[in-house]
Amino acid sequence: MEKKEVLISHYGPLSYEEIGFLLNKMTAILDRYAFGITVKKKVYAAMVESLENIYKHQDLITGNTNYLPKFNLQLDDKYICLSVSNSVLNGKIFALKDRLNKVNLLDRNGLKEYYKEIILSGNVSQKGGAGLGIVNIAKVTENKLDYTFDEIDSNHSYFTLKIKVLHNTTQL
Amino acid sequence: MESLYIEPSEFTPRVFFDPVNSVFEISGFSRPENVVGFYKPILKWLEDYNDLVLSKNTEFNKSNLVINLKMTYFNSASSKFLLDILLEFMKFHSKGNSIEINWFYDEDDDEILESGEEIADMINYSFNFIPISPNS
DSSP for B15-71, written as a single string: EEEETTTTEEEEEEEE--SSHHHHHHHHHHHHHHHHHHTGGGS-TTS--EEEEEEEE
The tens digit of pLDDT for each residue in A80-90 reads: 999 999 999 99
Domain made up of B4-132: CATH architecture: 2-Layer Sandwich (3.30)
Mean of all residue pLDDT scores within chain A: 90
Least confident of A3-7, A29-33, A70-74: A3-7
Task: Determine the average pLDDT of the residues in A32-37.
Answer: 92
What confidence tier does A168 reach under pLDDT thresholds 50, 70, 90? confident
Give the pLDDT confidence score for residue B62 in this predicted structure: 73
3-state secondary structure of A5: strand
Q: Is the pLDDT of residue A106 over 70?
A: yes
Q: Indicate yes or no: CB of A124 within 8 angstroms of CB of B111.
A: no
- List chain A domain ranges: 5-171
Strands (DSSP E) along A35-78, which ranges? 70-75
Q: With 90 as the cut, is the pLDDT of residue A131 above it? A: no
Q: Would you call B51 an interface residue with chain A, using a CB distance cutoff of 8 Å? A: no
Answer for the pair B27, B70: CB distance below 8 angstroms, yes or no: yes
Q: Which residue has the higher pLDDT, A12 or B54?
A: A12
* pLDDT for res A12: 93
pLDDT at A129: 58
Q: Is A49 on the interface with B (CB under 8 A)?
A: yes
B77–A52 CB contact, under 8 Å: yes
* Alpha carbons B82 and B31: distance in angstroms, whole number: 12
Give me the residues of chain B with pLDDT under 50, please: none
Q: Is A170 exposed, middle or buried (0-12, 13-18, 19+ CB in 10 A)?
A: exposed
**pTM summary value:** 0.91
Is B9 near chain A, with CB under 8 Å? Answer: no
- The pLDDT score that the predictor gives to residue B115 is 95
- Please name the member of A16, A41, A122 whose beta carbon is closest to the beta carbon of B111: A41
CATH 3.30.230.70 fits A5-171, yes or no: no
Q: Which residues of A touch B111 (CB under 8 A)?
A: 38, 41-42, 45, 140
The answer to whether residue B100 neighbours chain A at the CB level (below 8 Å) is no
pLDDT at B136: 62
- The chain A residue lying nearest B108, using CA atoms, is A37
CB-based contact B75 A122, cutoff 8 Å: no
A126 in contact with B, Cβ within 8 Å: yes
Q: What are phi and psi of B34, to 5 degrees?
A: -115, 85
DSSP-derived 3-state class of residue A45? helix
- Top-ranked range on mean pLDDT: pick from A121-130, A138-147, B60-69: A138-147
Q: Is the pLDDT of residue A94 over 80?
A: yes
In chain B, where are the structural domains located?
Answer: 4-132
Tell me what pLDDT residue A151 has: 95
